[in-house]
């Protein structure tokens, strides 16, 4: 086994040494054969297919990116497959489990927009994490072998050039930035093209009508302008869409996906609205039937391999269920509170008082990981809305506190409605899962 691993690392190094020229010259069939070999240890077929799509899209579009972006992406692949693997093995030996694959950090919850239903709408805006603490976390991530970080908020670009400078000082990390896009002007796009290791995912609700109705008049025009700047400067970017009862069908339509692909988006992330944050309520949540419809449409669309699409609530079969609690990722908010995921607004520890490695070993995160997956049906991955008794149990057992006013509504006053939703979705999801098992 050790010899096989050494051979694989040597092959990966040989591929990466050739860089962009090697990637361009490799036929798709050969690239997929290499991918099949490198990814053979991944247990989930959908996950393997997703990673292979990344390779195909990288080959197809990398030449359109700025030189710094091209270099960053190739460095990222090398770090994940070679350098990161060694660090992760060392962590596993010392701690007893794998470190997360990624981290989400919200350095600020300040924002220039006030969108209804915002998941982060109730967090305190009084204090930022602090750019010094933020950078300390980047060093901690690198030591653990984490080379992919997502930056959320709040609006990250409200922090200005100093924030971009910090990203540029960590070229080994690839940063994904969730943003409303309104602060990305030509200057910001040029800076991102120069550092190369950060790509924005811009929030949209549909087209102009849907986006402006939630985010404010004129927002959509600023988003399109931002996408133009990013494409012209050779920056990798994508879109982020929150599925609600109102826009669920629109955002998985060919009209919607083709439009943003043609604007230059290579990635599209889908989030299922959950009742947390600003004025939480289940009336915005897509129905169980809408949720299944969204999954079916995205599976069909992925077969075209022309844009990378992922749905965090429907893609449990791709990753083996819930990613939270440090199994794959965690969230550090602007107060330094370490939450199991971006939408689970409870914490026990603060990064200002304890190293991340110790927090990962805490009873709170350990209890969550012990229960994963929460159900054998991986179409029910979420401990907030799919198997809600899990969230209530771990919060109670570990004494986790809500990280903002009203965060506990999801386990208290909204609990009966969430239980009703969970049961209605379970009945549909069981049929889908049984059918899925026969297909695979």
Confidence at residue 12, expressed as pLDDT on a 0 to 100 scale: 54
Residue 18 has pLDDT above 80, yes or no: no
Which one has a higher pLDDT value, 126 or 66?
66
**394-426: per-residue pLDDT in tens?**
999 999 999 999 999 999 999 999 999 999 999
Mean pLDDT lowest for which of 1-5, 46-50, 259-263, 307-311?
1-5
Residue 422 near residue 386, CB atoms below 8 Å:
yes
3-class secondary structure, 110? coil
Give the residues across from 202 on adjacent strands. Answer: 179, 239
Q: Which sign does the torsion angle of CA 277, 282, 283, 284 carry? A: positive
Mean pLDDT lowest for which of 14-23, 81-90, 154-163?
14-23
Tell which residue, 11, 167, 2, has the closest CA to residue 82: 11
Angle at the Cα of 271 from the Cα atoms of 173 and 55, rounded to 5 degrees: 45
Distance between CA atoms of 387 and 408, rounded to whole angstroms? 16
Which one has a higher pLDDT value, 380 or 61?
380
DSSP state, residue 252 = G
Give the residues across from 238 on adjacent strands. Answer: 201, 267
**pLDDT, mean over the chain:** 90
Confidence at residue 73, expressed as pLDDT on a 0 to 100 scale: 84
Q: How confident is the model at residue 1 (pLDDT cuts 50, 70, 90)?
A: very low
| Mean pLDDT, residues 190-205 taken together | 97
pTM: 0.91
Residue 13 has pLDDT above 80, yes or no: no
DSSP state, residue 344 = B
Residue 17 has pLDDT above 90, yes or no: no
The 3-state secondary structure of 215-241 reads HCCCHHHHHHHHHHHHHHHCCCCEEEE
Confidence at residue 109, expressed as pLDDT on a 0 to 100 scale: 95
Residue 8 has pLDDT above 60, yes or no: no
Residue 175 near residue 127, CB atoms below 8 Å:
no
Please, where are the H alpha helices in 314-379? 316-319, 356-360, 363-370
| Mean pLDDT, residues 160-188 taken together | 97
pLDDT cut 90: percent of the chain above it: 71
Residue 117 has pLDDT above 80, yes or no: no
Confidence at residue 97, expressed as pLDDT on a 0 to 100 scale: 87
Give the residues across from 242 on adjacent strands. Answer: 271
Residue 45 near residue 15, CB atoms below 8 Å:
no
Which one has a higher pLDDT value, 122 or 16?
122
Give residue for tokens 């694959």: 101
Scored b (16 or more CB within 10 A) or e, 111-143 reads beeebebbbbbbbeeeebbeeebbbbbbeebbe
Residue 24 has pLDDT above 80, yes or no: no
| Mean pLDDT, residues 166-194 taken together | 97
**264-303: per-residue pLDDT in tens?**
999 999 999 999 987 788 999 999 999 999 999 999 999 8
**216-264: per-residue pLDDT in tens?**
999 999 999 999 999 999 999 999 999 999 999 999 999 999 999 999 9
**198-213: per-residue pLDDT in tens?**
999 999 999 999 999 9
Distance between CA atoms of 306 and 316, rounded to whole angstroms? 22
């Amino acid at each position: 086994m050790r010899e096989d691993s050494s051979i694989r690392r040597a092959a990966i190094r040989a591929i990466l040494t050739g860089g962009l020229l090697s990637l361009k010259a490799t036929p798709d069939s050969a690239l997929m054969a290499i991918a099949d070999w490198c990814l053979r240890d991944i247990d989930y077929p959908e996950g393997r297919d997703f990673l292979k799509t990344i390779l195909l899209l990288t080959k197809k579009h990398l030449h359109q990116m700025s030189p710094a972006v091209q270099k960053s992406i190739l460095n990222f692949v090398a770090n994940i497959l070679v350098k990161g693997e060694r660090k992760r093995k060392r962590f596993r030996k010392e701690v007893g489990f794998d470190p997360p694959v990624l981290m989400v950090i919200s350095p600020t919850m300040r924002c220039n927009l006030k969108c209804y239903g915002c998941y982060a709408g109730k967090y305190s805006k009084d204090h930022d994490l602090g750019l010094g603490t933020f950078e300390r976390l980047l060093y901690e991530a690198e030591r653990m072998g984490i080379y992919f970080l997502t930056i959320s908020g709040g609006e990250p670009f409200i922090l200005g050039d100093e924030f971009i400078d910090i990203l540029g000082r960590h070229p080994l990390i690839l940063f994904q930035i969730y943003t409303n896009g309104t602060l990305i002007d030509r200057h910001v796009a040029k800076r991102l093209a120069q550092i190369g290791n950060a790509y924005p995912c811009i929030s949209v609700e549909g087209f102009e009508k849907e986006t402006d109705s939630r985010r404010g008049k004129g927002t959509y025009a600023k988003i399109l302008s931002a996408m133009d700047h990013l494409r012209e400067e050779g920056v990798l970017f994508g879109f982020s869409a929150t599925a609600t009862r109102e826009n669920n069908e629109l955002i998985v339509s060919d009209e919607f996906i083709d439009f943003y692909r043609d604007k230059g988006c290579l990635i599209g992330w889908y989030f299922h609205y959950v009742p947390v944050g600003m004025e939480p309520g289940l009336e915005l949540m897509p129905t169980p039937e809408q949720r299944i419809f969204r999954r079916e449409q995205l599976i069909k669309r992925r077969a075209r391999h022309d844009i990378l699409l992922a749905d965090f609530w429907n893609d449990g079969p791709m990753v083996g269920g819930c990613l939270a609690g440090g199994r794959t990722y965690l969230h550090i908010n602007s107060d330094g509170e370490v939450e199991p995921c971006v939408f689970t607004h409870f914490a026990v520890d603060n990064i200002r008082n304890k190293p991340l490695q110790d927090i990962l070993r805490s009873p709170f995160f350990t209890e969550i990981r012990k229960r994963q997956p929460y159900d054998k049906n991986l179409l029910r991955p979420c401990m907030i809305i799919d198997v809600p008794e899990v969230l209530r149990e771990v919060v109670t057992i570990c004494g986790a506190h809500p990280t903002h006013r009203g965060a506990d509504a999801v386990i208290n006053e909204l609990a009966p409605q969430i239980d009703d939703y969970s049961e209605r979705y379970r009945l549909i999801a069981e049929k889908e899962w049984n059918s899925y098992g026969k297909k695979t």
